[in-house]
A = this chain, B = another copy of it.
Amino acid sequence: MARDTLSSLRGIQERRTLVHDVLEALRQAIWERQLQPGIRLREEELAEALNVSRGPVREALIQLELEGLVIREPNRGASVARLAPADLEEVYSLRMALEKLAVQLAVRNRSAEHIAQLQEVLGDMSAELEMNVTEKRAADLDIKFHEIIIKATGHKRLNLFWSILRPQIYVFLLSRNVANADFREHMLPGHHDIVDAITERDEERALQLIESHLEVTYSRVFASYREFLETE
């Protein structure tokens, strides 16, 4: 009992391990293009910069390799991955497969709590789309919405795969102009209908909606990511 109390308190406090901190720092640096694609990531250099030893840095790089943000070659070291349009296609084809499974399971497993969470995100979206939101904030809301559905499935391995995919989705989302008008028009109603279908436990409709929603998203991200790569 005391253990549960403690660990829940711990959650409020700070991170548990240095690996976690290093991961966050590196992910953010990659998202914000402080660490540009192709740049070499020397373990010792990163360790010095982050005031930790090579161990945690090494473990973080292994995790980042898993997430596709970093390339690691034996005895050669790590570098920031260069993400081509083909990578975007891979990420989104997997995302489609996973999220189709997710909505199916979510329709069956959803609780009132999940629906409330989804509604809350919808509320945040409609509120914030009125004003000027940063790309990061828009991406956060978008991802958060889809993540609630994934979590609602109670499927541990699906959640794991999502957590691997998520940082990569983030890279693509942050590299395009999410604030453009037609995106803003699409974001709210697209998500709203999905919540409806899940609430009504209409599996077939939920499947169709998530499919078309992701296809629209994909084509828009694809177009702007190519543009982004050309200007960079």
> Which residues of A does B touch, CB under 8 Å?
16-17, 59, 62, 66, 68, 74-75, 90-91, 93-94, 96-98, 100-101, 105, 155-158, 160-161, 164-165
Copies in the complex: 2
What CA separation (Å) do A16 and B68 show in the bound complex? 21
- A90 touching B155 in the complex, CB below 8 Å, given contacts A62-B59, A66-B66, A97-B100: yes
**Judging by beta carbons under 8 Å apart, are A156 and B97 in contact?**
no
8 Å CB contact of A101 from B93, B105, B161: B93
What CA separation (Å) do A97 and B94 show in the bound complex? 9
What CA separation (Å) do A96 and B100 show in the bound complex? 12
- A101 touching B90 in the complex, CB below 8 Å, given contacts A62-B59, A62-B62, A74-B16: no
What CA separation (Å) do A160 and B66 show in the bound complex? 8
* Nearest B-chain residue to A161, judged by Cβ: B161
**Judging by beta carbons under 8 Å apart, are B59 and A157 in contact?**
no
**Judging by beta carbons under 8 Å apart, are A156 and B90 in contact?**
yes
24 A-B pairs (CB sep. < 8 Å): A16-B75, A17-B74, A59-B59, A59-B62, A62-B62, A66-B66, A66-B160, A68-B157, A90-B155, A90-B156, A90-B158, A91-B157, A93-B101, A93-B105, A93-B158, A94-B101, A94-B157, A94-B161, A96-B101, A97-B98, A97-B100, A157-B165, A161-B161, A161-B164
